């Protein structure tokens, strides 16, 4: 791909690939270690809570990301997260109270909330505007590939070397990502602060900007809805494979892998699709196809059909996710990227526990086959929402793409 000829992007992508593999090592190793040492489902639940609570802070960290240089922010987050993982590796051999472990985990996640908005805000400094959509698609694919590799290899390594060593391996992947960033050098500007600048004022400016940009407001609505609806997919899939399909663990793994493969393919093709279809059409079709395919998975209780439509769901969501973040990069002012990306990401993350609770409750009373339909229909409707005649200037954004991104997209009053 031509975008990989960009040295800085290729180096950054390599660091992303390695660090995402390490993150998935950690995601597998932590609950395994906690449950193996305590045997308590309550402790396991507490671990999940401490991992997800820092997502709330993501609403506010963007103010600091906008104040700081993005590359330096990414470097320091990798250093701190690597040190925390090393500390976790050392601490577990001392068999401390669980609360000590959970505090370290929460600190790790808090530092991590700074990384994603910094990375999103950094991309326009290393890529021309016309390549941002292809870049977001490729990043989707790289992350999906790393997630798949991390999950499969992490499970094997737990059996071979134990969960504790995976904490150290995660620290090493942060080190690789750090080294890759040292080779990425670009002219990065940081807007000067006014004398009256305050944290509260800057944060409120970011919130007002998200609300005033009709394109972003629609993105927040749709990503929140789809995040809520698709959050419980893993637990629904597990119950469905063990129940109606009477399947096994490997069968569950193959179906989950089909989703990841679909995301990878969708991300790789996003740049080509973006050049041939209007943005509004891409956003609409991707969610409509994902919603229909999700419903079909539940209605046809067959492993091979599930894998086939799983690829379609993953492909559609890979296209959708890459497109909306590329759209956001085009319309968000440079000086507000950190704030606005952190707000959008955090709202989507906060929708996850809501979806888990809602669909977890429905699983008790509704047949699993229809749970898929109840996930598919809202996804489909969220796609159709892009057809509503709202003045969010998505059409203008399509024109700016066609002109190499030289036009400015307004707020849509």
Compute CA distances 368 → 47, 70, 112, 243, 258, whole Å. Answer: 27, 44, 35, 9, 20
Measured distance CA(260)–CA(89) in Å, rounded: 29
Helix axes 303-331, 132-161, angle to 10 degrees: 130
Q: What angle do CA 18, 24, 26 make, to 5 degrees?
A: 105
The pLDDT tens digits along the chain (413 residues) read: 567 788 888 888 888 888 888 888 888 788 888 877 887 767 776 777 787 777 777 778 888 888 888 899 999 999 999 999 999 999 888 888 889 988 998 999 899 889 888 888 888 888 887 787 788 788 878 888 888 788 778 777 877 888 888 899 999 999 999 999 999 888 776 665 545 567 777 777 777 776 777 777 777 788 888 888 887 777 677 777 777 887 766 677 778 788 888 888 888 888 888 888 888 888 899 999 999 999 998 888 788 888 899 899 999 988 988 887 777 777 777 777 777 777 777 777 777 777 877 877 887 788 888 888 999 999 999 989 888 776 655 554 554 444 444 333 333 32
Give just the sign of the alpha carbon dihedral 265, 287, 118, 48. negative
Please give the DSSP secondary-structure letter assigned to residue 239: H
Distances (CA, A) of 108 to 34, 81, 82: 16, 6, 9
Domains along the chain with CATH numbers: 1-184 (1.20.1250.20), 196-405 (1.20.1250.20)
Q: Identify the burial level of 390 via C-beta atoms within 10 angstroms of its C-beta, where 0-12 means exposed, 13-18 middle and 19 or more buried.
A: middle
The DSSP output letter for 191 is P
Q: pLDDT tens digits, residue range 35-74? A: 778 877 677 767 777 877 777 777 788 888 888 888 999 9
Q: What is each CA distance from 340 to 121, 146, 311, in whole angstroms?
A: 10, 26, 31
Helix orientation angle between 337-365 and 303-331, rounded to the nearest 10 degrees: 150
What counts of helices (H) and strands (E) characterise the chain?
Answer: 17, 0
pLDDT of residue 402: 44
Residue 192: what pLDDT? 59
Question: Cα torsion at 86, 91, 92, 94 (round to 10°)?
Answer: 150
pLDDT at 156: 78
Residues 6+ apart with CB under 8 A from 63: 199, 202, 203, 206, 338, 339
Spatial contact of 174 and 49, defined as CB atoms under 8 Å apart: no
Query: What angle, rounded to 10 degrees, do the helices at 41-52 and 337-365 form?
Result: 150
For Cα atoms 28, 81, 135, give the angle at the middle one, nearest 5 degrees.
Answer: 80
Counted residue by residue, the chain has a size of: 413
For 113, which DSSP code?
A: T
- Radius of gyration from C-alpha coordinates of the chain: 21
Distance CA 19, CA 13 (A): 10
pLDDT for position 407: 35
């Amino acid at each position: 791909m031509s975008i990989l000829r960009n040295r800085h992007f290729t180096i950054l992508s390599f660091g992303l690939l390695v660090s995402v593999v390490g993150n998935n090592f950690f995601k597998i190793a932590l609950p395994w270690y906690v449950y193996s040492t305590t045997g308590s489902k309550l402790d396991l639940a507490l671990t999940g809570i401490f991992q997800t609570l820092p997502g709330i802070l993501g609403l506010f960290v963007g103010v600091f990301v906008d104040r700081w240089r993005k590359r330096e922010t990414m470097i320091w987050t990798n250093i701190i997260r690597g040190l925390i993982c090393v500390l976790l590796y050392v601490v577990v051999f001392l068999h401390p109270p669980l609360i000590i472990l959970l505090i370290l985990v929460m600190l790790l996640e808090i530092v991590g909330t700074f990384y994603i908005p910094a990375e999103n805000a950094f991309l326009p400094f290393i890529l021309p505007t016309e390549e941002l959509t292809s870049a977001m698609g490729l990043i989707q694919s790289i992350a999906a590939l790393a997630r798949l590799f991390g999950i499969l290899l992490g499970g094997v390594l737990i059996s071979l070397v134990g969960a504790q060593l995976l904490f150290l391996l995660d620290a090493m992947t942060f080190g690789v990502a750090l080294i890759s960033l040292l080779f990425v050098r670009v002219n990065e500007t940081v807007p000067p602060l006014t004398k009256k600048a305050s944290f509260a004022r800057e944060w409120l400016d970011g919130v007002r900007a998200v609300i005033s940009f009709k394109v972003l407001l629609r993105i927040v609505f749709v990503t929140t809805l789809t995040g809520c609806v698709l959050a419980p997919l893993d637990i629904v899939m597990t119950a469905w494979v063990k129940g109606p399909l009477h399947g096994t663990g490997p069968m569950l793994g193959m179906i989950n892998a089909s989703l990841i493969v679909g995301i990878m393919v969708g991300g790789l093709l996003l740049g080509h699709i973006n050049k041939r279809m209007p943005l509004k059409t891409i956003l609409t079709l991707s969610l409509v196809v994902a919603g229909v395919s999700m419903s079909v998975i539940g209605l046809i209780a067959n492993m091979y059909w599930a894998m086939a439509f799983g690829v379609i769901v993953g492909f559609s969501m890979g296209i959708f996710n890459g497109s909306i973040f590329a759209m956001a990069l085009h319309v968000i002012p440079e000086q507000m990227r950190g704030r606005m990306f952190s707000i959008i990401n955090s709202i989507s993350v906060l929708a996850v526990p809501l979806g888990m609770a809602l669909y977890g409750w429905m699983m008790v009373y509704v047949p699993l086959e229809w749970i898929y339909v109840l996930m598919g229909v809202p996804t489909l409707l969220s796609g159709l929402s892009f057809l509503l005649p709202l003045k969010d200037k998505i059409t203008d954004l399509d024109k700016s793409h066609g002109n190499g991104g030289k036009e400015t997209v307004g707020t849509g009053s």
